[in-house]
Every structure is written in C-alpha cells, then in structure tokens.
Amino acid sequence: MSEARTGVAFDRTGFAEHVRDDPAGALAALRVAARNGDVEAQALHAQAHCEGRGVPRDMAEGLYWYTLAANSGHIHAMNMVGRCHELGQGTPANAELAAAWYRKAAAWGLDWGMYNLANLLATGRGVRENRAEAFALYRQAAVLGHAKSMNLVGRHYEEGWEVAPDPAAAADWYRRSAEAGDFRGQISHAAVLTQKGDIDGAAQWLRCAAETARPDLLCRVADDLEDSPHESLREVAAHLRERARGSARVEPPQPGG
C-alpha cells in the first residue's frame, strides 16, 4: 500500500483566501495544480465540480478527479470515491465498489471511511452483513471524535445490539454526540433528558437539532412531541414544524464525508 496523504501539499488556507479575493483566478490556479499532479489540488478540484462552486456542477468530472487523488493515496478522496459509487453520483450506483473504497479509507484511519463502511456492513449492502464488525467500526470512529458514530454507538448500547444493554453508556454516547454537533445525537440526548425530567435541557437540545436536521425527521419528532404533557415541548414541536417548512424550500446539501 502506498503512503496515504491527508492533503498538505496544496495550501488550503491560502486557496480559501484567494477564492475570496479572486474566485476566477483561484480556480484557474487550482485547475493548473490539479493537472500538474498536486494531489490536494485534485481533491479540491473534485469538490468544486461536485458542489458546483465556481464551475458547473459535474459529478462525473468530480469523480474523475477524486479517483486520481485517491489512487495517489489521498484518504479523504478515497472516502468520496466511495460516496460517489454508493450514491450513483457521476457513475452507476455500485455498493460493492463503495465498500471497497470505504475500506481503504478506514484502513488508513479515516473516521468517515469507518462510518460509511459500517453503514454498509450493518445493512449488508455491497458486502456480507456483519453487524459485529459494523459496531466495532462505529466505536472506532466514535473514539476518534466522529459525531454520527457516537450516536450509533449509543444506539447499540441502548438496544443491546452486539453488546450488552447499558443505558448509562448509551446516555453518555448520546451526550457526546450531541455536544459534537450531530442532530440525531442531539435528539437522542434530548430523549434521555426528558426521561430524567430535565425538560428545559431537552427543549434546548431539540432546538439545536432543528438547525441542521432534515425536514422529514423534524416532522417525525414534532409528531412525537405534540401530545407531550410539557408545554415547553409542545412549543418546540411547533418550532420544529416551522423549521421543517423553511428547510423544505431550500435545496438540501449533497451528502459528503
């Protein structure tokens, strides 16, 4: 296996400043660096095409540049090649190829690679279902600080999936996930706080979740809260519905990693 790269050759900070001052010039310089073989520039060039930043959105072109960077050892690009194959962005969907790329990124220690591979293992998409390995990967990513994995580790402890049920451990991982910014973790943490009688704390975390959660999830949570005996939670339900209506009018961001 060749040396993995996290992206240090191309100056990301300098590039960001260049984009603010001269977007066209910055993108032209990025394109030249990518074509000259700079791996970090290739990954940034891919991201620009996938997100349509400064160039027309072109997922196939983005996948091309991500693949070049990934084949040169860029671990974040490895994960993004996996995402493109999983979601069928710029190429027909292929969960088996996605799993192979996620496994490469995970082997190099990338938390997003671990999380994405675990999702496939947990559901048997592109790989043989292996919930024990999925849990091990979620936990490994969670220890590295991956917020979404923290929430799923908490879920495993709550439900007793691949581990003995442990409500205290579940609550701790939910709290960590919430504090790390994952909206699902914030909702899970709010549920724990509600059970403990900390209604004000639960309402606060639910309002935090409303800032980033998907409209369909906000509506489901609002449904659960509408009949709450606590007025503050019923008020949160109304807030979540309002946020969901506003979010539905905005094009959702593309899934990433």
pLDDT digits (tens, 9 = 90+) for 234-250: 999 999 999 999 876 54
pTM, 2 dp: 0.89
Q: pLDDT at residue 66 above 90?
A: yes
Q: pLDDT at residue 201 above 80?
A: yes
pLDDT at position 52 is: 92
Per-residue pLDDT, averaged over 139-158, amounts to 98
Contact residues for 105 (Cβ-Cβ < 8 A; gap 6+)? 75, 76, 78, 79, 82, 112, 113, 114, 116, 117
232-238 own/partner pairs: CB under 8 Å, 24+ apart: 232/199, 232/200, 232/203, 233/194, 233/199, 233/202, 233/203, 233/206, 235/203, 236/203, 236/206, 236/207
pLDDT at position 11 is: 66
Convert the pLDDT of each residue in 109-125 to its tens digit.
999 999 999 999 999 99
- Report d(CA 201, CA 219) in Å as an integer: 20
Cβ(146)–Cβ(154) below 8 Å: no
> Which residue is it, tokens 């799923």?
152
Convert the pLDDT of each residue in 175-193 to its tens digit.
999 999 999 999 999 999 9
Alpha-carbon distances of 94 from 12, 56, 68, 191, 232, rounded to whole Å: 31, 25, 19, 36, 46
Q: What angle do CA 34, 36, 41 make, to 5 degrees?
A: 25
Q: pLDDT at residue 12 above 80?
A: no
Please give the domain boundaries of the chain with CATH numbers for all domains: 1-108 (1.25.40.10), 145-257 (1.25.40.10)
- Report d(CA 192, CA 203) in Å as an integer: 12
Counting residues of the chain whose pLDDT is more than 90, the rounded percentage is 83
Q: pLDDT at residue 256 above 60?
A: no
Phi, psi of 230, rounded to the nearest 5 degrees: -100, 120
Q: pLDDT at residue 34 above 90?
A: yes
Per-residue pLDDT, averaged over 73-86, amounts to 98
pLDDT at position 247 is: 78
Burial (CB count within 10 angstroms: exposed 0-12, middle 13-18, buried 19+), residue 157: buried
pLDDT at position 23 is: 77
